[in-house]
Structure 1
Amino acid sequence: MSIKPLAGLALIALGAAALAWPELSYTKQTHDAKLGPLEFTVKEKDTVRLPVWLGLAAIAGGTVLVWKRKA
């Protein structure tokens, strides 16, 4: 099996995941301070929204790669 169909299947899976979970949340550490024996850390929670068209485009591109045999 060549690499194109495998890449196509991966794109289809990623596109379906983007449609199923359109929001990704992550926590990033922004500030770190030490004052003697005390340590302070500030963590910010951020959310990234994935547009619907991105998931649909990934599925369409993956489908083209899977169906396209030899060029």
Structure 2
Amino acid sequence: MKSKEVDEILKAYMQLKIDLLKIAECIDYCTEEKDKEHYRMEVLHYSKKLKKLKESIEETYGLKICQCCCISDDE
């Protein structure tokens, strides 16, 4: 396993998570219901991408990403 490759993928995972949190935060600042619905749909989209990426990382690299974002080897 190339550590640089793993580092890049984990950075992408964390950036996706950051983006998701930023978009979710926008919902609180919306005054129009249509805007809130737009951001809810974006959050749903990002959540699905995040889940797929997490599963891919775990399957491909044998890493376990727990709910608290700690990363450890399965062994």
Q: TM-score range by the shorter chain?
A: 0.3 to 0.5
Q: Pick the structure with more strand per residue.
A: 1
Whose helix fraction is larger, Structure 1's or Structure 2's? 2
Q: Return the TM-score normalized by structure 2.
A: 0.41
Larger RCO (alpha carbons 8 Å, 6+ apart): 1
TM-score (norm 1): 0.42
